Amino acid sequence: MQSSLSTDRLLLRPWATGDADFVYDMYSRWEVQRYLGRVPRVLPDLAEALAMIERWKGLDDPVHGIWAIERTQDRQLVGTLLLKSIPASGELPLVPSGDTEIGWHLHPDFWGQGYATEAASTVLEMALASGLEQVVAVTNPANTASAQVCRRIGLDHAGQTDRYYNTTCELFVTSPG
């Protein structure tokens, strides 16, 4: 069972079936999906949102997680924080690279308030304290907002890579040691 984490303004908790309307609302928006995956697509219906939540709930790992980000003051959901295995480029189906990636998806109503940075800093700190030696983040080269989050949480830009997801990404990594 994935544990919850708290920050000054946010609670990171496991996703629940009752969150499906929010998940559908967020992932059916092109401005959220446009830089995600090799061939971005919006979520077509609520059934897929429910299926995503079921997959996320099934993730059973002591450190990795896919958290719902909830604003503490009013319990408003604002997005997703991910710490997960990143697939290596190669033949389909893609297999794990052995590296761990951190990622963030926020509903556009909640951009520009520092929530992604706040949630990601806490998860990164937890990941490193749990013994992970390195965490990576990959962003579409056009996704400057996400690259800024990487820099704000202290990741180093390591140029471009085609090592993951069969696509070319900007690579950000935790500093050695």
Ligand X SMILES: CC(C)(COP(=O)(O)OP(=O)(O)OC[C@H]1O[C@@H](n2cnc3c(N)ncnc32)[C@H](O)[C@@H]1OP(=O)(O)O)[C@@H](O)C(=O)NCCC(=O)NCCS
Residues at the interface with ligand X (CB under 6 A): 32, 35-36, 103-106, 111-117, 139, 143, 145-146, 149, 152
Distance CA 2, CA 57 (A): 8
Residue sitting closest to ligand X (CB): 114
Query: Please, are residues 58 and 15 in contact by the beta-carbon 8 Å criterion?
Result: no
Closest approach of Cβ 70 to ligand X, in Å? 15
- Count how many residues are written for the chain: 177
CB of 49 to ligand X, least distance (A): 16
88 vs 145, beta carbon nearer ligand X: 145
Q: Which is nearer to ligand X, 20 or 155 (CB)?
A: 155
Which is nearer to ligand X, 90 or 141 (by Cβ)? 141
